[in-house]
Chain A
Amino acid sequence: MKRSIAFELVRYALILAAVAITLVPIVWMATMAFKPIPEWTASGADLTWWPRNPTLDNFRFVFGEETSELIVALDKSAIRPIAASLLASIFGTLIAMICGTAAAYGLSRFNVGGNLPLALIQLRLFPPMAVMIPIMIMWSFLGLVDTWWGLALVYGIVTLPFAFWLMKTFFDEMPREIEEAALVEGCSRFRVFMRITLPVMRAPLASSALFVFILNWSDYLIGLLLTTKEWVTVPVYMASLSSSMTGQLYGAKAALGLIAAVPPVVLGIAIQKYLVRGLTFGALKQ
């Protein structure tokens, strides 16, 4: 279809405007992370988008090094929160993927499990805040508060619906002939699943796992409720950077925010193809 030049001009103008609006907050934080103290607080006419004297002090500060610019040193470096976030997210992803994949396969191939799919959607529908009281009571009873494994367990359960629905759509689409050939050879069904199905589904498994990891890594509320000191996650730690000190530590928070923001953005772009399915519970196929 031929388009007029005017249409193309309008299109590029609108898209560029949207791109600019999209990038403003990100650029502001990214450059803030490299600004020394005097430029943090610059306002009005002194606003600088690009740091005049770029520095890595903010990153050093976040990792607990003494820096000349900053008077106060942190009582704890960001290494531990990063470890906490990583451990909880990775193991949460494992729980969700293992249970979700198994259930999805069972449901997709053998039609068992009843209304499990709907139960899982319901789980997603409710605000986490509305189901946290019993979890908090159970977790303190089990001694799971402020541990990375306690957090990983909740993450695994919260993201299980996504793992399940993503894997179910992938299994539904996988041609069964591949499996049936192996069955005829005399393999047991479980062997077929382990030896044939899983290897064939490598790419969907990887993208689903990355998707679930992004969700876990992004959590703030659950970390806020279930961790207090030892195993606070990155977002919780980041938010606490302001209250424990005098004033806002703009640069340091921006540095940490950048560290927290980069992995999901990179992974997200890597699995762009699967995002629609993941976010719509597979209701839409692209």
Chain B
Amino acid sequence: MTATTSTPASLPRQLTLDEEGKRLGFRMTLPTQILILFIAVFPLLMQIYISLTDWSPLDGVSWISAYESWNNFANFVDLIQDDRLWAALRRTFLVMAVCVPAQFFLALGLAVLFVDNFIGKRLFYSILLTPMMVVPSVAGYMFFMLFQSGGPINGIISGVTGMDFAVAWLSDPHLALVAVMIADVWQWTPLMFLILLAGLIGVPEDQLRAATLLGASWWQRFTTIMLPRIKIVIVIALAIRVVEIFKIFDTLYVMTGGGPGVATETISVYIYKITTQDLTWAYVAAIALFILITLSVLANMALRRMGRRS
């Protein structure tokens, strides 16, 4: 900072601008620091504490006295043997493994179409971005309607094939998960599209023109100039979707409630169900802790690897 003015000798206690700035800056971050303490650090300690007991809100004792039901890590032993938990985790990763690549390739294709100008670009762009702005639970309800056995999806299929098509998508264990994936792809491909397009627009045009002059085909320009240039953009887009799909809840829960049976139960839905139905909050705290630790480790590994590369 260049504006360091020296304090007049007559006013020795007055702060220099730099000191004033540091002090102000610290004060300005204070509310956020307090909120983080209040909402992240303290709850985390509370979560660890509760996860080591058998405490439940039904007990009628304050959570502070939870130590009375200390259970020697029994929650964590249960967790390892909880088949429903592992199935929910596997299902979450399955949705991720299908949806993220699908969203990526659809979005990349669309973004390529949108790089240069054409008539109606702005209008089409706005329409294509709409799904990500629709409230996710409302989107869930839209797809709930669409996938009814007498609903429009079957109607469209019937119309195209000429057969009387009436599949009960949401009550079939396999199709329900497919329906959920379709809804997710519908809602979040636009986000990938938005990010990838932002990256592609940033690719310098003179490089592309130079490549054209050298006789590179469109595909060669795409793979040798455009893709490498937007590598970091692609990584960010994929990372955002991976993180978000891991949390998938709203759309899915509105569409299927995790059912039929447990066929669409992802990790968030499973935790939600035992939180509100079984009320075994100590066990939920243990599961939540397990997930938090796993995610932190994975995220730190990913960040470190990315840091080493760049």
- In the bound complex, residues from chain B placing their C-beta under 8 Å from that of A160 are 32, 35
Select which of B62, B146, B254 is within 8 A of A25 by beta carbon: B146
Q: Does A5 sit within 8 A of B, measured CB to CB?
A: no
Task: Closest A residue to B2 by CB, please name it.
Answer: A180
Contact B128 A44 (CB under 8 A): no
- A251 CB → nearest B CB, Å: 10
Q: Does B181 sit within 8 A of A, measured CB to CB?
A: no
- A52 CB → nearest B CB, Å: 15
Q: Give A133 to B278 CA distance when docked, in angstroms.
A: 13
- In the bound complex, residues from chain A placing their C-beta under 8 Å from that of B22 are 110, 112
Q: Does A245 sit within 8 A of B, measured CB to CB?
A: no
Contact A123 B40 (CB under 8 A): yes
User: Considering the complex, which residues of chain B in the window 1-41 have a beta carbon less than 8 Å from any beta carbon of chain A?
Assistant: 2-3, 17, 20-22, 24-29, 31-33, 35-36, 38-40
Contact B198 A286 (CB under 8 A): yes
Contact B50 A190 (CB under 8 A): no
Contact A25 B142 (CB under 8 A): yes
Known interface pairs A133-B47, A189-B21; A157-B35 also in contact (CB < 8 Å) = yes
Contact B288 A19 (CB under 8 A): no
Contact A102 B28 (CB under 8 A): yes
Task: Closest A residue to B183 by CB, please name it.
Answer: A25
- In the bound complex, residues from chain A placing their C-beta under 8 Å from that of B17 are 183, 189
Contact A183 B127 (CB under 8 A): no
- B62 CB → nearest A CB, Å: 8
Contact B130 A265 (CB under 8 A): yes
Contact B150 A22 (CB under 8 A): no
Contact B21 A110 (CB under 8 A): yes
Q: Does B259 sit within 8 A of A, measured CB to CB?
A: no
A residues contacting the other copy or chain, number (CB 8 A): 100
- B76 CB → nearest A CB, Å: 15
- A18 CB → nearest B CB, Å: 6
- In the bound complex, residues from chain B placing their C-beta under 8 Å from that of A190 are 24
- A285 CB → nearest B CB, Å: 8
User: Considering the complex, which residues of chain B in the window 99-155 have a beta carbon less than 8 Å from any beta carbon of chain A?
Assistant: 109-110, 113, 116, 118, 124, 126-139, 141-143, 145-146, 148-152, 154-155
- In the bound complex, residues from chain A placing their C-beta under 8 Å from that of B247 are 127-129
Contact A220 B250 (CB under 8 A): yes
Segment of A61-69, A201-209, A272-280 in the binding face = A272-280
B residues contacting the other copy or chain, number (CB 8 A): 102
- In the bound complex, residues from chain B placing their C-beta under 8 Å from that of A184 are 3
- In the bound complex, residues from chain A placing their C-beta under 8 Å from that of B47 are 131, 133-134
Known interface pairs A29-B141, A109-B21, A127-B247; A11-B118 also in contact (CB < 8 Å) = yes
Select which of B195, B237, B284 is within 8 A of A133 by beta carbon: B284
- B154 CB → nearest A CB, Å: 8
Q: Contact flags (1/0) for A236-262 with B, using CB distance below 8 Å?
A: 001100000000001001100100110
Q: Does B291 sit within 8 A of A, measured CB to CB?
A: yes
Select which of A22, A107, A133, A156 is within 8 A of B130 by beta carbon: A22
Q: Give A228 to B22 CA distance when docked, in angstroms.
A: 45
Q: Does A37 sit within 8 A of B, measured CB to CB?
A: no
Q: Give A132 to B149 CA distance when docked, in angstroms.
A: 36
Count A-B contacts at CB 8 Å.
290
Interface of B: prevailing SS: helix
- A191 CB → nearest B CB, Å: 10
Contact B29 A113 (CB under 8 A): yes
Q: Does B63 sit within 8 A of A, measured CB to CB?
A: yes
Q: Does A218 sit within 8 A of B, measured CB to CB?
A: yes
- In the bound complex, residues from chain B placing their C-beta under 8 Å from that of A25 are 131, 139, 142-143, 146, 186
Known interface pairs A14-B113, A133-B50, A134-B47; A284-B198 also in contact (CB < 8 Å) = yes
Select which of B31, B50, B151 is within 8 A of A99 by beta carbon: B31
Known interface pairs A261-B134, A284-B233; A22-B186 also in contact (CB < 8 Å) = yes
Q: Give A276 to B299 CA distance when docked, in angstroms.
A: 22
Q: Contact flags (1/0) for A63-77 with B, using CB distance below 8 Å?
A: 000000000000000
Q: Give A109 to B143 CA distance when docked, in angstroms.
A: 47
- A44 CB → nearest B CB, Å: 6
Q: Does B281 sit within 8 A of A, measured CB to CB?
A: yes
Task: Closest B residue to A41 by CB, please name it.
Answer: B150
Q: Give A107 to B130 CA distance when docked, in angstroms.
A: 34
Q: Does A100 sit within 8 A of B, measured CB to CB?
A: yes
Contact A99 B32 (CB under 8 A): yes
Q: A137-B46, A265-B130 are in contact. List 15 more A-B contacts (CB 8 A).
A: A29-B141, A47-B150, A111-B25, A122-B296, A123-B36, A129-B288, A131-B288, A136-B275, A137-B63, A160-B35, A218-B136, A220-B136, A220-B249, A225-B275, A267-B133
What are 8 pairs between A and B in contact, CB < 8 Å?
A1-B212, A8-B118, A12-B118, A15-B110, A26-B130, A43-B155, A137-B46, A225-B275
Q: Which residues of A contact B (CB under 8 A)?
A: 1, 3, 8, 11-12, 14-15, 18-19, 21-26, 28-29, 32, 41-45, 47, 49, 98-100, 102-103, 105-107, 109-113, 116, 119-120, 122-138, 140-141, 156-157, 160, 164, 180, 183-184, 188-190, 193, 214, 217-218, 220-221, 224-225, 235, 238-239, 250, 253-254, 257, 260-261, 264-265, 267-269, 272, 275-276, 279-280, 283-284, 286
